[in-house]
Amino acid sequence: MEKMIKKRIDQVKEKGHQRLTVLLIPHGFDKSFHFQISIFTIFFLVGLLFAIVGIAVLGIVRYNNTRIQINALASVYGKYFDEYIEYSEKLGDIRDDFASLNENLQEVHSLVDGESDELLKLPDESDSEDLAATELKVEEAVDKDLMLGRSYLSEIYGYRSVKVSMEKNKALVDSVFNFLDSRYGIMNSLPFGEPLLSYNLTSYYGMRRSPTFGYMEFHDGVDMANVPGTDITATGDGRVYRAIYSNRGYGNHIVIAHANGYYSLYGHCTSLKVREGEYVHKGQRIATVGATGNVTGPHLHYEVWIGESNRTDPMDYMKVGFGQY
């Protein structure tokens, strides 16, 4: 059997090495010429020609299919297709920014005495990519048009993995937000900030000579001069403890009760814009500057109390860095 196979192979080799003479006779009187070529060479050249033609045809077909699918994809994504391609180039920067944000959130979470270390057990990038791929496969099963983008817009998966990571970080963001929001609420409920946007400080807290009677007296607040009718705003959230119209002492004035036993007083107003018992917010318009009561000119007399009897220097609260808006 082996001898027969070897014999057949030798016969094929013998025929393959046989040479054919090709004679070329040009028109006219030019000399003719010829050359020899083996049968193996002829088969090789013919095979090579078919391979080149086949590759060319395959390339043209694939190019046309690619253009057709890209055009179909463009019609699916509409006018946002070009913008999507542009923004996909920025995916790397978005990943870096998110990684930096994630580190900052974790640091803030640790600094504000976060509620639970479980919030810091965030998924790895590979886990987020797997979850993103799973979500997209579910969507593709519903919307077949999405299948068009899988071969050409791999950034879809990149953006989706970032989105999944953000969703997984939501608990961390909420924890930090709730902590800061509660602290912000506490700060808003205290009389921090200034009741007027602009003013001339005409009298400080402490001993002074009375502008109306001339003798030395203790001044319980600060006087802030401005034109009549200028808006006065609450320096903190609270409930209106008093809203009194009077021609003596503080004149028309308001007292707001804040959290933790703090009070703020706004005296010598022209008109009062809130009623006793009403809840007001920091920055809310509560009255206007006037010259009612014991005064020599239009100004706001402003006081801060701890309890109903302990007057403190309002400047300590006006300059703590928290504006009224």
Domain boundary among 138, 160, 189: 189
289 contacts 230 by C-beta, under 8 angstroms: yes
Q: Would you say residue 325 has pLDDT above 60?
A: no
143 contacts 156 by C-beta, under 8 angstroms: no
* 1-12 residue pLDDT tens: 666 766 666 665
Tell me the helices (H) and strands (E) count for the chain, helix number first: 8, 14
Question: What is the value of pTM for the model shown?
Answer: 0.50
For 282-300, give the DSSP string: TT-EEEEEB--SS-SSSEE
The residue written with tokens 């959230």 in the block is: 237
Domain boundary among 89, 112, 135: 112
Provide the CATH number for the domain around residue 204: 2.70.70.10
- Residue 164 sits in the same domain as residue 265: no
In a domain, 119, yes or no: no
- Residue 205 sits in the same domain as residue 172: no
- Residue 41 sits in the same domain as residue 104: yes
106 contacts 134 by C-beta, under 8 angstroms: no
What's the pLDDT score for residue 145?
Answer: 57
In a domain, 85, yes or no: yes
- Residue 251 sits in the same domain as residue 315: yes
In a domain, 117, yes or no: no
280 contacts 198 by C-beta, under 8 angstroms: no
Residue ranges making up the domain that contains 184: 125-189
- Residue 261 sits in the same domain as residue 313: yes
Q: What type of residue is 237?
A: D
139 contacts 157 by C-beta, under 8 angstroms: no
* 67-100 residue pLDDT tens: 777 676 666 665 556 666 666 666 667 667 766 7
Length of the chain (residues): 325
What's the pLDDT score for residue 49?
Answer: 83
In a domain, 209, yes or no: yes
Number of domains in the chain: 3
Task: Name the pLDDT band for 64 (thresholds 50, 70, 90).
Answer: confident
Paired sense of beta strands 299-306 and 285-289, if any:
unpaired
Domain boundary among 138, 167, 189: 189
What's the pLDDT score for residue 172?
Answer: 67
In a domain, 46, yes or no: yes
Report which of 136, 126, 143 is spatially closest to residue 157, judged by C-alpha positions: 136
37 contacts 23 by C-beta, under 8 angstroms: no
Mean local confidence (pLDDT), 182-192: 82
Sign of CA dihedral 159, 160, 165, 166: positive
The rounded distance, in Å, linking the Cα atoms of 260 and 307 is 9
- Residue 105 sits in the same domain as residue 40: yes
Sign of CA dihedral 126, 127, 128, 133: positive
- Residue 287 sits in the same domain as residue 307: yes
